[in-house]
Amino acid sequence: MTTRALVLGGGGPVGIAWESGLVAGFAQAGVDLSQADFIMGTSAGSFVGARLALGADARTLAEPILKEAERAPRGRGGGPPADLSRLRELMAEAQSGKRNPSEVRAEIGAFALQAQTIDEATFLASFGRSFAEQAAWPQKDYACTAVDAEDGSFRLWTAQAGAPLNRAVASSCSVPGVYPPVTIGDRRYIDGGMRSSTNADMAVGYDIVVVIAVRVGDGSEIARRVEAQTAAEVQTLQDGGAVVVVIGPDDGSLASFGPDLMDFTRRPDAARAGLAQGQSQAAILKDIWG
């Protein structure tokens, strides 16, 4: 039997909106990615993936975000951010191969632990109706990614790992310097995107893997690094025998993002752009996904 995996990458609140729209657009055009045997998310993708794994209708996934346009616009999440220039430097160094990536991620964790952000309880509560009280894991095979803030080690949260779902998803979304590290057991964890924007190599062993990558295609230095790392992960999957499709934002979606993926006011536009892209590109996946 052919097995299918869906990998959802990181990209802040704007990425959540775009991925939700994209998945909804695909579903409305006849390609339901929620039927994957395995769903894995990093950062923004952990949120979208958890909603799908818990049974949200893929066709209507973007509706709550589209309705945000009818309410008063919200600004950036988490208040004004700390100076993230050092974080960007460390992320580039972790991906350069010049030092042990875990050592660099531990420095990112130290940065996160020292940063002035909203408190952890407020951050956990910000998941609202979606996950604030959702401790139980879905029946569907779902995983999300995080990094130990103290030693920089990578963690793949699954139902067997013993973490409450809401904290696992929150840890995967904990952007250093913007949100606080999340306590699970006696450790604190930060955004899984500190290892990789997609961590797609964690889906090795599946026959078909669809990778949705938010932070690609705009020509920036960050995008080029993400593209190189994603290509290496795709090669790992292909070496394992998988058919892999990587989907990034098209020109219309990139235009909808704006310069700041943490800007909540961009979410309705990003969701609409994702919806349109999914509807127009569904043919790419129809024969592959089945």
202-239: per-residue pLDDT in tens?
Answer: 999 999 999 999 999 999 988 999 999 999 999 999 99
d(CA 160, CA 222): 33
Task: Classify residue 219 as left (phi > 0), alpha (psi -120 to 50) or beta.
Answer: left
70-83: per-residue pLDDT in tens?
Answer: 664 454 444 444 56
Helix spans in 67-100 (H):
85-96
Helix spans in 136-266 (H):
165-172, 221-239, 251-257
d(CA 247, CA 118): 33
* 287 confidence band (pLDDT: 50, 70, 90): very high
Q: Is the alpha carbon torsion for 28, 30, 31, 37 positive or negative?
A: positive
Give pLDDT, residue 77.
45
Strand-pair category, 154-157 with 187-191: unpaired
Q: To which residue do tokens 């990558």 refer?
A: 213
- Which residues, in sequence order, are CB contacts of 41 under 8 Å at separation 6+? 7, 8, 9, 47, 48, 49, 50, 142, 143, 144, 145, 172
d(CA 233, CA 159): 24
Quick one: tokens of 3? 């097995």
Stated pTM of the model: 0.94
d(CA 17, CA 48): 9
